[in-house]
Amino acid sequence: MLLKFTKLLAFLFLILILLALYHYKKIQRLYHVNTLFDEKNIVDNFLNMEKSFPYHHIEKSKVPYAMPRKLGYTLPSSFNYQDRSLQVQDYLDYSNTTGLLLLHRDTIIYESYHLGMQESTTHISWSVAKSFVSTLVGIALEEGLFESIQDPITKYLPQFKGTGYDGVKIKDILQMSSGVGFNEDYRDFNSDINRFGRHFALGKSFEGFALSLKNEKPPGTYNHYVSLDTQVLGMLLRKITGKTLAAYLKEKIWDPMGMEYDAQWVIDQDEVEMALGGLNVSLRDYAKLGLLYLREGQWEGQQIVPKTWVQQAVTPSEPHLMPGATELSNSHFGYGFQWWIPQDWQGDYFAAGIYNQYIYVNPSKDLVVVKTSANYHFKEIGDESKDIHVALLQAIAKDFPDQNIDTMPTEKVEENK
């Protein structure tokens, strides 16, 4: 009897080992997702996402464009947030800044790297990727690949009939006004966005998660940030272009704009890109997207993105999208087509990702500021890092330039070959 019991235990143990080996990658990835933002790992994780997750490779342009540099600009020493004066360098250190770049007109005037990041290092975008996706949607519309942003998404993605996206206009999805119910609280373990992360880690499809969502409000009436809205836009692009997002991005943006470095876009088991935040890009190439918008879609004499699209993308057009506290939105920031509008709006706008990734554009100052970070404080209760960062970015622009940029020596930049 004891011998039989021992054999049974040995057999069960063998089964457990085989199951563990079979699911090893999923278990490993689930552990990695659940510890992705831990203080001791966050910097390394943000700089090396391609080592932990599958991705599509985006090769640098064969004709890279190196922006001229006139380094020598000095950041302001302090800035105000509400009733406090904060030291710029102290806050940059506190927020685990990995890269910071200022672009005036088309020239880099400030560029710094920290915590292991270098010029060629790619850094996870998180939701900054949403602004890239919006740009691709504008290009696809100009190419006639779909008829209108007034079309319901189900016209092109019929599998969403009967779901939270049934009949929702593409425009409402672009403006985070789909009406789909979604909890985006990263501090809540059981929130929808954290369930999405575990869903991905276990090898399940992004589409499957999007199909499970339900509607809560009439579309086009309330601004509520739903990351899966962008995932649906990514699905639309794949359907109408017949290409992966990575391939379409390379063709329409990476190559014509002379992006200097390779990039990666994280994918699921079906090799579908994480449109809502899985793009990994170098600091300078992030800056080029900001410069493209600063130039209203034009690059070296070529209209990459329609000027009207750029204008619409960065201008709130409905009452529920306006900056400022309102019962029509769950945010005091305004919103365009996957671009944010500051509460103290001065014609400026920004792309933003969790843990403090930013592309900030201030047209009146011909200024683009890019910041990458691994701010582990982001998940702390009461964290105000998004508001503080916007205050910092606007403070940099407010008195800009307080130094004579034109007299700074131009530094010769070698092209990345």
Residue 20 and residue 57 in one domain: no
The two most distant CA atoms of the chain are separated, in Å, by 91
Confidence band, pLDDT 50/70/90 cuts, at residue 399: confident
Residue 146 lies in a domain: yes
Q: Exposed/middle/buried for 26, CB within 10 Å: 0-12, 13-18, 19+?
A: middle
The answer to whether the beta carbons of residues 405 and 70 sit under 8 Å apart is yes
Residue 40 lies in a domain: no
pLDDT digits (tens, 9 = 90+) for 275-309: 999 999 999 999 999 999 999 999 999 999 999 99
The answer to whether the beta carbons of residues 260 and 160 sit under 8 Å apart is no
Q: Please tell me the distance from the alpha carbon of residue 214 to that of residue 204, in angstroms, as a whole number.
A: 19
Per the structure, the count of domains in the chain is: 2
Lowest average pLDDT, out of 137-141, 226-230, 376-380, goes to 376-380
The helix/strand/coil state of 278 is coil
Residue 320 and residue 174 in one domain: yes
Residue bearing tokens 């994480």: 274
| DSSP symbols for 201-265 | HTT--HHHHHHT--B-S-TTS-B---HHHHHHHHHHHHHHHSS-HHHHHIIIIITTTT--S-EEE
Which tokens hold the place of 308? 């009207």
Confidence band, pLDDT 50/70/90 cuts, at residue 5: low
Q: Please tell me the distance from the alpha carbon of residue 56 to that of residue 132, in angstroms, as a whole number.
A: 16
322: Cα separation from own chain's centroid = 21
Query: Does residue 236 carry a pLDDT above 60?
Result: yes
Residue 249 and residue 307 in one domain: yes
pLDDT digits (tens, 9 = 90+) for 156-203: 999 999 999 999 999 999 999 999 999 999 989 999 999 999 999 888
Residue 417 lies in a domain: no
The answer to whether the beta carbons of residues 274 and 228 sit under 8 Å apart is no
Which whole number is the average pLDDT over 323-349?
96
Residue 281 and residue 397 in one domain: yes
Going by the DSSP 8-state scheme, the letter that residue 270 receives in this structure is: T
As a 3-state breakdown, the chain gives helix, strand, coil percent values, each rounded to 5, of 40, 15, 45
CA 160 → CA 54, 211, 217, distances in Å? Answer: 26, 6, 17
Which tokens hold the place of 300? 């070296």
The answer to whether the beta carbons of residues 46 and 122 sit under 8 Å apart is no
pLDDT digits (tens, 9 = 90+) for 39-52: 999 999 999 999 98
Answer with the residue of higher pLDDT: 16 or 396: 396
CA 326 → CA 150, 375, 394, distances in Å? Answer: 25, 29, 22
Residue 349 and residue 219 in one domain: yes
Residues 6+ apart with CB under 8 A from 204: 268, 269
Which whole number is the average pLDDT over 328-351?
97
Q: Mean pLDDT, the chain, as a whole number?
A: 92
> Domain span at residue 238?
45-407
Letter for the amino acid at 378? Answer: F
pLDDT digits (tens, 9 = 90+) for 254-276: 999 999 999 999 999 999 999 99
The answer to whether the beta carbons of residues 81 and 387 sit under 8 Å apart is yes
Letter for the amino acid at 5? Answer: F
pLDDT digits (tens, 9 = 90+) for 364-373: 999 999 999 9
Going by the DSSP 8-state scheme, the letter that residue 82 receives in this structure is: T
Residue 195 and residue 291 in one domain: yes
Residue 13 and residue 61 in one domain: no
Residue 145 lies in a domain: yes
Residue 296 lies in a domain: yes
Kind plus residue range of the DSSP H or E element containing 183: none
How confident is the model at residue 21, as a pLDDT? 45
How confident is the model at residue 202, as a pLDDT? 87
The answer to whether the beta carbons of residues 55 and 265 sit under 8 Å apart is yes
Q: Please tell me the distance from the alpha carbon of residue 332 to that of residue 337, in angstroms, as a whole number.
A: 16
Kind plus residue range of the DSSP H or E element containing 267: none
The angle formed by the CA atoms of residues 108, 283 and 390, to the nearest 5 degrees, is 85
Q: Please tell me the distance from the alpha carbon of residue 137 to that of residue 248, in angstroms, as a whole number.
A: 10
Nearest to 110 by CA among 64, 79, 75: 75
Residue 143 and residue 234 in one domain: yes
Kind plus residue range of the DSSP H or E element containing 297: none
Residue 76 lies in a domain: yes
Residue 127 and residue 26 in one domain: no
Residue 154 and residue 18 in one domain: no
Q: Which long-range contacts (CB under 8 A, 24 or more apart) does 324-327 make?
A: none
Kind plus residue range of the DSSP H or E element containing 390: helix 385-398
Which tokens hold the place of 359? 């592309």
Share of the chain above pLDDT 90, in %: 84
What CATH number is given to the structural domain containing 117? 3.40.710.10
Confidence band, pLDDT 50/70/90 cuts, at residue 15: low
